[in-house]
Structures are given as structure tokens and as C-alpha cells.
Structure 1
């Protein structure tokens, strides 16, 4: 049985229209680098400083610390304006799924490749939070600001376990829309779930290590691992 469900944010629980891809591409191309779509997809889901650091030399530009910092500032500015112009929304059924899981005693945490500053603004716009007064209550939110390394390292998932008091990885499910989400889940020892609400088609996402490939987070409460204890077989 599951004690903790850990979900990615953009592309998994939150529909931002793919703006993270565009923001990351704009940050790198603005520095004069070219961006291969395959490389962009490979680095989606990782923390964005690492993604920029990798994408710049792949595109023919030296990733000096100052340039990486400038690109990251560009990324955040692009993203902030895009979220003002077209506010992100939850994917259909996600808020209900979170409420259902928590009603069954399953903790719900979000992890993200964003830093704390970007994440806080995004959650505020949605009305989601870890306080009882939030429109959608979460048990924990872990960002790249909280760990020494983002995905595919398992640290964000393990930190979510720390914050929620879950001690066994056997009781953790982690879901995301990118290959690195699945790699992080597997590295953490969690049940790895790919969801098709992001940019990757099923065949591509299934190339990552996984236990399930699902249409979206909305159906996760229907998994036998997430069923109410009385109904478990």
C-alpha cells in the first residue's frame, strides 16, 4: 500500500501549455546557442541551472558561471511573464485526485525542477499550499533549492519522505511526464509512474524505467496500490 504519492509539477499536475520548454529554449538561444529538440527534451525535468549548463555547450557556447546565471535569470523572467499572460491551470481531475488520496491517509507531495522562488509564485497563483487555508492542501513541496541535486537524483523524493514522515520507499509512488522523472523514481526505489499529460508520446515515455504509464495523475487513485485499505486485496 502507498503511504506517499510524489508528483512533478509542470506537465504532470499543472498545465502550463509547454511554456517551460519555450522558456528554457529562449534562455539558451538568447545566449547564442542552438538547441536540438532532442537535447531539450533530454534535459526537461532536471533543475534548470543544470539544464542550461548542459545545453549551452551542446549548442556551441561555453557555459561560464556568469553566462549560466544570466541565462537562468532570462529563463525566470520569461516564465514569470508567460504565467502572467496565460496563467497555468491544473490538469483535469488532478485536484480531485489529490483530495481523494489524502482522504485515504496517503500523503501528497510535489517535486519540481524549479527553484523555490519560481515554485512559490506558481503555487500562489493556483491557490495550492501546505497550509490548511490553501484551496488545495499538500503535505510537502520540494524544489531544487532544497536538495544538493535535482532529478534524476532521488533526493527530492527522499526529502519529501523526510518531510512527511514516510520511512519506507516501498510505500512511495512517484509520477512525472519526463524520462528523468521516471529515472528519479527508480533511483529512489519508488513505484515509477509516467503520465501522458506532458510533451512525450507514450512510446517515448515508456523507454524510461517505469511500473505504469497512465493517461494522467487523475487516474492514480484507481491503482490498486492507492485503493482504500478496506478495499485492498
Structure 2
């Protein structure tokens, strides 16, 4: 078996080191409604469709308690829609500022292109968000062949298999075990497993680590090693097939898997 395609996540995986743009937008949208969210409260469900993510946040006991104190009732669907609208407008504004390719991606793009390996994406972004991200990424040489959002799967996002399965179908890949899904959150790994694809967890610059590039660089070597181990432990906890420190390691992984496939 040889790898036939690679499907990436966006923020925290290929762009936006540390997945910072969504955090800012979530915090500001909820703050407008009187809710102060911690970064941990936001990051625990990163990787979900953004509307579903907001529903999960609004179901948190502390958020519901604060909402009742402020408005003397539980949040409604209308409240969720309003926060999503606010979140989306803030994210659309911020996305261009966080769309720089992560370290190692340029080499990965060259490798995939040279080896004629198709690649695509699944995302918690919606179509409007992708309209902003795609041209910025294209200017840097990153042009996925397919880009699947939950709008294309009747609202079914990660960790379900629907988006990843649809991406495979669009690429004409029938052997899911020949597809690598590369992501930076637990939901990315679960998506891959549910779709029958091979899962790759990215450590540096991931949502799970949650640090900017400057913050990570400021750590001591021991602190960096501990941060990486913390992320790796979480990937091991959901049985990720492969765990890579950085994107720069992906070409070697694909080469190794292809060589092993040739021996079978």
C-alpha cells in the first residue's frame, strides 16, 4: 500500500501557528455577551464546526450559570446564533493576519507536488472563511485540490467521518487506509479514525499546545520538551497512528510508508 492522498486541517496545522485567530474571535464574541472565557474552555473542543463549537461552549455549566445570572434565563438558539454571527465577523476580519504557513509547510508542498500526491483539507471553517484564507494561502504556494466544510455534509463536522469521507470521494480515493489525515486537535484524530484513514497528530504550533511561535521559542529546552510531551500524550490517548514534532517530518513519514508498502 502506498499513500494516495493527504488531507490537512487548517488553523494550527498548516497555517496560524498555535491556532490563535479562533481563540481571539471566540473570546471577544462571548465577552460582548458578558461571558469571559478561558483559553482552556475554548481549546477543549477545537476542531469542531464553529457553530457546533459555540453550542458546546454555551452548554458549559459555568457559562450557563453566568448566563442565568446576567439574563435570568438559559441561552436560547437565538442567543447562540447571535454569538456565532459576532464570532464569525470577528474571525473573518482576523483571518488574513493569521494565514501565514507554518514552518515546514513549504517543503511539504514541494514534496507533494514533486511526487504528484493530491492533497486537500477538511475544516471547522465555513465557506465564507475559506474564501478569505484560500487566496492568502495560494499566494504562499499552498493550493489544496479540495476543501471540505460541514456545509457540504449537511452540517456534519468533526469528529464524524463525513467531511473526510467526502474529501476522499472528491479525490477519487477508495482505499481510506491509503489516506493520511494531518491535524492538530483530538477531533482531527477522531475524524481520521472514524473515516478509516491514517491519523497524524502535529505537535509544534498545534491547538493542543496552544502557544504562539514566539512563546514557544521563549521556553527553555526542558520546558519545550515538556510541552511537546504533553501534546504527544494526548495524541497517544486517542491512539493517533503517527505523531510528528513538526510538519517538516511529514515527507520522510510518507516516504517510509511507501517503501514499507512496496515490501508487502
User: Shorter-chain-normalised TM-score: which range?
Assistant: 0.7 to 0.9
Partner residue, 1:2: 3
- 2:200 maps to 1:193: yes
Report the Cα offset of residue 57 of structure 1: 2.5
Aligned residue in 1 for 2:76 = 64
CA deviation after TM superposition for structure 1 residue 28, in Å: 2.8
| Secondary structure of 1:15 counterpart | coil
Secondary structure of the residue aligned to 1:99 is helix
After superposition, the C-alpha distances for 1:189-210 in whole angstroms (9 at most, x for unaligned) are 1111100121323333432230
Tell me the distance in 2 between the aligned counterparts of 1:172 and 1:63.
40
Flag the 1:231–1:51 CA change in 2: closer, same or farther, 3 A: closer
Q: Conserved in 2, the CA contact under 8 Å of 1:177 and 1:198?
A: yes
CA distance in 1, matches of 2:261, 2:55: 48
Flag the structure with higher strand content: 1
Q: What is the CA–CA distance in structure 2 between the aligned matches of 1:97 and 1:55, rounded to whole Å?
A: 34
Q: How far 1:14 sits from its partner (Å)?
A: 0.4
Q: Which residue of 2 aligns with 1:54?
A: 56
Cα distance in 1, alignment partners of residues 86 and 256 from structure 2: 40
1:45 and 2:57 are equivalent in the alignment: no
Shift of 1:20: 1.1
Map of 1:31 onto structure 2: 33
Structure with greater helix share of residues: 2
Q: Give 5+ residue unaligned stretches, structure 1.
A: 129-133
1:15: Cα distance to partner? Answer: 1.9
For the residue of structure 1 that corresponds to 2:237, the secondary structure is coil
* Contact 1:98/1:108 (8 A) holds in 2: no
1:137 counterpart SS class: coil
2:102 aligns with one of 91, 95, 100: 91
- Residues 117-143 of structure 1: per-residue CA shift (max 9 Å, x gap): 101111112226xxxxx9433221111
Residue in 2 aligned with 1:131? none
How far apart in 2 are the matches of 1:7 and 1:139? 11
1:145-184 counterparts in 2 under 5 A?
145-148=151-154, 149-184=156-191
Residues 1:63 and 1:96: Cα distance change in structure 2 (over 3 Å): farther
Q: Which of residues 229, 233, 250 is equivalent to 1:203?
A: 233
Give the deviation of 1:65 after TM superposition.
2.1
Counterpart secondary structure, 2:120: strand
Cα drift, residue 37 of structure 1: 4.1
Give the Cα separation in 1 of the matches to 2:254 and 2:127: 33
Q: CA-atom RMSD, angstroms? A: 2.4
Deviation, 1:228, is 6.0
1:140 and 2:146 are equivalent in the alignment: yes
Looking at structure 1, the residues matched to 143 and 207 of structure 2 have their Cα atoms a distance apart, in angstroms, of 27
CA contact (8 A) 1:110 1:141 kept: yes
